[in-house]
Amino acid sequence: MVLVSLIFAGLLLAFAAFAAFGLPWLIAGGRAFEEFSERRDQKVMAGTLAALVLAMVSLPFVASAFEAAGPHLALMAQTVLGVPERFWS
């Protein structure tokens, strides 16, 4: 299920990148990005897309770490936070 979610998220991310940068380039050509260094909105879009790509790449590693830490987190919740054991079952 995680693989299907990652594939779907990758497709949506590719579409977002195309809509933000590919479409203007197709319509206006190379002059669409002549002022890229001066336009803050394009920099924000590029940075957000790059951050999302990094998050998607690191997601399998983070998810496996959370799954492996599950019993330890449940023990911490029971002892430190006082969450009853019946909450986890």
Q: Which tens digits make up the pLDDT trace of 7-26?
A: 888 898 899 888 888 888 88
Residues composing the chain: 89
What CA–CA distances, in Å, run from 15 to 19, 35, 49? 6, 23, 11
3-state SS record for 4-61: HHHHHHHHHHHHHHHHHHHHHHHHHHHHHHCCCCCCHHHHHHHHHHHHHHHHHHHHHH
Q: Which tens digits make up the pLDDT trace of 29-81?
A: 888 788 878 888 888 988 998 898 888 888 777 777 666 666 666 666 667 66
- Domains of the chain: which residue ranges? 2-87
What is the rounded distance in angstroms from the CA atom of residue 55 to the CA atom of residue 51? Answer: 6
